[in-house]
Amino acid sequence: MSNAFPEIQGGGSLLLAWQIKNKRVAAGRILSVLNADAKVTVISPRAGLNEEVAYRISSGAVDYHDRKFSPEDLEGVDMVLTAVDDPAASTAIWKLCKQRKIAANIADVPPECDFYFGSVHRDGPLQIMVSTNGNGPKLASIVRKQIAADLPIGIGAAIERVGGLRRKLRKLAPEIEEGPKRMRWMSRVCESWSLEDLTDMEEEDMERLLGFYESNQVPRLQDLRQKDFADFEFDGSFGWV
């Protein structure tokens, strides 16, 4: 019986896509959290800012306080990221976060991190993170680049099209009891169509394809686009799945 289940491999991290849109973040790693639509507050004397952080401040992308950290800065904060060249100060901030149950990442101090930043590849809605659990950040970057190089061209655009189709389908069949059928039908579309087809799918194609949801059929894209497609009667040989 035990052979039917995967073997437990300890020592890993739970990799999550953390939704922090509109969450308040006290941040030292600017771009990662801004890409996730977080509300970022930077607290640092101006002399301690690097070029990118100074740019984000001047462009109005983040809120900024030109001073050292104060415990009151944790009020209303959902996440804390530190990049302080003072181990004692970093630990003090971490302890305050623990007391207030705020998730924190203390730069270069793994024991004082509730989460880590992996090496991330981004293509539109597609995000792939590689983590070595702190063993080799540079190697994580190398692995991430290799994975990205092997991905099909246009995969991000294909995902965007599938997302658009799913949203249309939810409007067409919004009932809760339709959930299992929606998922099965969308799975068939993704498995039956090539990535090139999904990338090439247009609004008109989506509308015509949705016309076959009720009958639980998935015609091929090239068949769907035939001008006289509506005149065909399904005889089992038309490329439907």
- Residue tagged active-site, from 37, 66, 108, 223: 108
Q: In the chain, how long is the greatest CA-to-CA distance?
A: 76
What is the number of residues in the chain? 241
The dihedrals phi and psi of 6, each to the nearest 5 degrees, come to -60, 145
Supply the angle between the helices 155-172 and 203-210 in degrees, to the nearest 10: 40
Supply the angle between the helices 155-172 and 179-192 in degrees, to the nearest 10: 150
78 is catalytic: no
DSSP state of 193: S
CA distance 226 to 223: 5
Cα dihedral: 67, 69, 72, 77 (round 10) = 110
DSSP string, 148-168: HHHSPTTHHHHHHHHHHHHHH
91 alpha-carbon distance from chain centroid: 30
> Helix, strand, coil shares of the chain as percentages rounded to 5?
45, 10, 40
Whether 121 contacts 147, CB under 8 Å: yes
Q: Which residues pair with 163 in a beta bridge?
A: none
Residues with a known catalytic role: 108
